[in-house]
Structure 1
Amino acid sequence: MQIVMISIDRGEMSEFSTIFKLSIIAFTFFWWYLWTWRSSVVVAQCEASGFAPHTLELGWEFTGVDGKSRSLGQGSVTGHRQASDGTFSQSTRLELDSGKLKFGRGGEVTGVAKHEGEARRAGATLNVIGVSAPSIEDSMAMIAVALVLYGVIKVLYWTFSSAVSGSGCPVLECWFVQEKPGQRGGFTAPMDQEKSLMFITTEAYNEKTSELHPPADINPSRIYYVTDPAGTFCSSALNPPKGSVNKPKCEINPFMPHAAMVRWAAALTDSAQSPVYLQADWFSVAVQGLDEQLTLSNIMRAPSTSKEPKVILSVSSKTPVVRSRLGEQVLLDCGFWVDPSSPLHGSGFSIEWRYQFRGEGRLVIAYDGKNDRFAETSETGADIDVTALYESGNASLIIEEAQVRHSGTYICTVYLPHLLVQVAVDLEIVEPPSLSIYPSPLPLLVPGQVVLAQCEASGFAPHTLELGWEFTGVDGKSRSLGQGSVTGHRQASDGTFSQSTRLELDSGKLKLGRGGEVTCVAKHEGEARRASATLNVIGVSAPSIEDSMAMVAVALVLYGVIKVLYWTFSSADSSDADLKDKVHDIVFNVINPTVKRFKYT
């Protein structure tokens, strides 16, 4: 006997038990319905009419699916009824009970009337389902119904569980990071980090925390039961498939509410007094989703000593990494949400976009939402949609025409009174190179001669580029000729780069045969580009079939010309000596130079 152990975690087991129980209820109802139908009684009636004289014997017969017939008796026979024309009518009723009468899976029920005029019969088919020995078709049908019921129950379970209990939200594994106690001060204060866990729901937390069974290796004080009314944590980008190694990156930090230090957010904290609402435990959470689909930062508030924080301010971007070609319009996504039940809702906000690249930064755009005005900046060609900002919290940055100088990191910051949250979006301008080969066309190459070919790649960004050469012979086979002599990068005024490579085309060293196609290949992250030029090599030792055919044709033409000249001179009665001399001159002066010409071409 082989025993197979199945391991199911507690969450899966709970879901499996619920679905299993619902399925058992459905199956019970289904089989009860079949049993009731099987045990039900059908009353059949046979009516005999228009006969005379009135003597008549009524009865019932049954023929099963096996072809065997048997009598079911007379049933309940009524008295005679006489019509106006003097004929009679009579009927009989029979209770068809599959249990008592043993109908099996059904058959044909026949009403029999024996009369001195003639015996008559009338039959009807009887189908019985739910018998103890079902047919293969019945079994397959019942299995299909069972599978459909199971699927419907599972879909309903998922729908209601995600809509009612918020089970569509993930359980996030995070790192809780804070300064080590007693180590404040200095530029490099040592940090302490612990494993942490967040159970998330979209409604007020009403589950018993003891039933969630957090892992034993996590400190209970670092387990949080988060309420996220907007469902920002419930994105599919933060919910990897079960068993996946790739998981979202999450970090929790203690947060201290404070007044903003920038002038476009100063109006949010005009009052020097801190609201009583701020007297609580505050946390900031930064999460990066799977496959660069989402970046999210939240501020959460929990009553002192409570482990059930609620999201107050959320800022997210669905485009953590953006790539664009030169000249295109670029949208850097950023949206925010404020808890409507919070006293901070409706108290004003400010938006800031800042650019950073290699330690340098600049203010791109800043908007004071409380006073409805923009701060002065030196940046041009960037804007936000103020209408969408108020209607849906859409703070996305729009860059009208992408340039190389726009490559870098953009930080979207949302200010509320005493709170701020920010997310970062990386923009990379990717432009593939344009290729040109010089000289164009390539000159004819003679054995022993060297032709210098140059490939120029220009207008590309970023500067990472791989240049190389390929050669395709007349036989169609391609091979690499190496990188050649590659120059350094040169940067143009628009920020794009150019680079070139030179290659010495020596038919002897590179074995170029009779020539072919020389191709310059540029491999760039934007797109690979190729440029080709035809190379002809003359005077090679092994002429092609076309060259051989041409030489044969020329030889035949020369032979014909000589023959004609021979006939001409011979007909003019020239002496044999003179004729031989003239023919010798023709051969020496015409054929010999031609042969020499073919020899050196």
Structure 2
Amino acid sequence: MKSLSLLLSVALGLVNVVSAGPAAIECWFVEDAGRGSLAMKPAALLLRPGPGGPPPRPDLDPKLYLSVDDPAGTLRSAFRRYPRDAAAPHCELSSFIPLPASANWARSLTPEQRCPRALDGAWLMVSISSSVFSLSSLLRQQPEPQQEPVLITMATVVLTVLTHTPGPRIQMGQDAVLDLSFSYMPPTPEAASSLAPGPPPFGLEWRRQHLGKGHLLLAATPGLGGKIPATQEGAVAFAAWDDDEPWGPWTGNGTIWLPAVQPFQEGTYLAIVHLPYLQGQVDLELSVYKSPKVSLTPAPLVWAAPGKTPPELLCHVNHFYPSEGLEVEWELRGGPEGGSRKAEGQKWLSSLRHHSDGSVSLLGYLQPPPVTTEQHGARYACRVYHSSLPASGRSVEVTLEVVGFSGPSLEDGIGLFLSAFLFLGLVKVLGWVVAYLTTCKDLKEKKTQ
């Protein structure tokens, strides 16, 4: 009985894992309304109809209420473990027309330049973005909505392109791995039978856009001839089909590796998978960061006499990126009031100093007010906040020693100076005496010879 209970528990657990995730995804259908404007209509993707069948959606156009058949399972799998506390993904639908790839290097995918009749019909592109993943899918719609049990349109997923790193943050100088996977299932049995057994040829394209400029980073057509543009910035792609089933569905890999990422490589990365007359694309937003090194001078102690102004404090914030969003705050810890509070005095920042690796540095200044004996042992701290640091920031501190309180007094300092001066004079006199005696000895030795 215990074994049976255990098996039931495992089975129920598996069912829960498989059935996890939202049953439907709310979307917007976007189309050109003319004169440079766009029109948006509500739509929905039904991923799991449930035991009672599809729920009615009278608020939707039946052609935009889509019951999704996903033979490869990539679209459903992406939502299967979607965190419940994560924000709802943004979903857009748009019309799609099968066309050959426009890039010259991808022309070998469609040498006949003629779209097969198997790709006729209505097509939609689904673009879904979130902090968890980003994907696009090509759906082929049935011509008309079905009437029973509710008005809904059947749609089959043909191509899905997916990344689980939609917003990678890479430390400057570290390697970046931007993952990309894709899956494909021929839209009809006729289309599958018209092709040679096994996965079709494909093209992979990675582009980067930043500050209004874009360029091709990498292109690949595994298994096909043709002239391919040279790879840029040392990028390497793992471009291949993962399986070779005769009739599909097939899954593939287009992950890219970027060595020693630098700030100029920030931007939007576009990953495009080309199949004959079909294309899927996802966008990734790569950002680079470098945590600052923080130090404080003078250190380790700041000396001041009662009623006098301590030396100017300099907070060195070195080699950080990005330059935006850095904050420097000064704190006074301990002293007669105890605790930690904002330090008084004049504060200002220097201009940025740029380095060859793209990072920047600056100085934070504090001119403290005159001190009192009660402030002996208090600590001045410089705290730095930056997007590359934890929320608490990073801080360094120095201790304030008030002369004459428990440290050396002014008279002690003068006495130490005079002692050092007399000691130095004594050393010089002894040096002269030794030199004189040595000279006299040499003269006597010469006379005896």
Q: Same fold (TM over 0.5)?
A: yes
Residue 167 of structure 2 is aligned to residue 321 of structure 1 = yes
Q: Quote how far apart the aligned CAs of 1:213 are.
A: 2.2
Partners in 1 of 2:284 and 2:69 — Cα distance? 26
Partners in 2 of 1:481 and 1:514 — Cα distance? 15
Partners in 1 of 2:101 and 2:331 — Cα distance? 60
One-letter amino acid of the counterpart of residue 259, structure 1: P
| 8 Å contact kept, 1:365–1:374 | no
1:167–1:496 CA distance, 2 compared to 1 (3 A) = closer
Q: State which of 46, 57, 64 in structure 2 corresponds to 1:199.
A: 46
Partners in 1 of 2:217 and 2:356 — Cα distance? 22
TM-score by length of 1: 0.57
Q: Quote how far apart the aligned CAs of 1:444 are.
A: 2.2
SS state at 1:451 partner: coil
Residue 33 of structure 2 is aligned to residue 230 of structure 1 = no
Q: State which of 518, 525, 530 in structure 1 corresponds to 2:387.
A: 525
Partners in 1 of 2:15 and 2:82 — Cα distance? 21
Deviations 1:87-107 (A, max 9, x none): xxxxxxxxxxxxxxxxxxxxx
State how 1:431-446 maps to structure 2 within 5 Å.
431-441=290-300, 444-446=303-305
1:193–1:443 CA distance, 2 compared to 1 (3 A) = closer
State how 1:94-133 maps to structure 2 within 5 Å.
none
Partners in 1 of 2:264 and 2:86 — Cα distance? 37
| 8 Å contact kept, 2:29–2:41 | yes
Q: Quote how far apart the aligned CAs of 1:236 are.
A: 6.0
| 8 Å contact kept, 1:240–1:246 | no
| 8 Å contact kept, 2:302–2:399 | no
| 8 Å contact kept, 2:302–2:310 | no
SS state at 1:266 partner: helix
SS state at 1:264 partner: helix
State how 1:502-517 maps to structure 2 within 5 Å.
502-508=365-371, 513-517=375-379
Q: State which of 472, 487, 499 in structure 1 corresponds to 2:333.
A: 472
Q: State which of 470, 482, 485 in structure 1 corresponds to 2:348.
A: 485
Deviations 1:329-373 (A, max 9, x none): 211111111115654773311101111122122221111235257
- Counterpart of 1:403? 262
Q: Quote how far apart the aligned CAs of 1:230 are.
A: 1.8
Aligned-residue Cα RMSD (Å) equals 3.5
| 8 Å contact kept, 1:170–1:238 | no
Partners in 2 of 1:226 and 1:376 — Cα distance? 37
Partners in 2 of 1:441 and 1:484 — Cα distance? 20
- Counterpart of 1:457? 317
Q: State which of 402, 405, 408 in structure 2 corresponds to 1:537.
A: 402
Higher helix share: 1
State how 1:155-166 maps to structure 2 within 5 Å.
none
One-letter amino acid of the counterpart of residue 319, structure 1: T
Partners in 1 of 2:66 and 2:171 — Cα distance? 43
Identity of counterpart residues, as a percentage? 27
Structure with larger Rg: 1
Q: Quote how far apart the aligned CAs of 1:314 are.
A: 0.6
Aligned length: 382
State how 1:138-537 maps to structure 2 within 5 Å.
170-180=23-33, 183=34, 188=36, 190-200=37-47, 211-235=53-77, 237=79, 246-289=87-130, 292-305=131-144, 307-339=153-185, 342-343=191-192, 346-371=199-224, 375-377=228-230, 379-386=232-239, 393-441=252-300, 444-446=303-305, 447-463=307-323, 464-473=325-334, 477-481=339-343, 484-508=347-371, 513-527=375-389, 528-537=393-402
Partners in 2 of 1:168 and 1:432 — Cα distance? 37
Runs of 4+ in 1 over 6 A off after TM superposition: 151-155, 160-163, 166-169, 238-242, 388-391
| 8 Å contact kept, 2:222–2:239 | no
Q: Quote how far apart the aligned CAs of 1:423 are.
A: 0.6
Q: Which has the higher contact order (CA 8 A, sep 6+)?
A: 2
Partners in 2 of 1:455 and 1:167 — Cα distance? 51
One-letter amino acid of the counterpart of residue 219, structure 1: D
Deviations 1:62-108 (A, max 9, x none): xxxxxxxxxxxxxxxxxxxxxxxxxxxxxxxxxxxxxxxxxxxxxxx
1:192–1:514 CA distance, 2 compared to 1 (3 A) = same
TM-score by length of 2: 0.74
Deviations 1:216-264 (A, max 9, x none): 222222211111012222236467688x794222111111111211122
Partners in 2 of 1:195 and 1:152 — Cα distance? 43
Gaps of 5+ in 1: 1-144, 552-601
Deviations 1:519-558 (A, max 9, x none): 211111222222222332214xxx45x899xx9xxxxxxx
Partners in 1 of 2:15 and 2:304 — Cα distance? 78
1:444–1:459 CA distance, 2 compared to 1 (3 A) = same
Partners in 1 of 2:309 and 2:205 — Cα distance? 65
1:427–1:160 CA distance, 2 compared to 1 (3 A) = closer
Q: Quote how far apart the aligned CAs of 1:438 are.
A: 2.7
Partners in 1 of 2:270 and 2:302 — Cα distance? 55
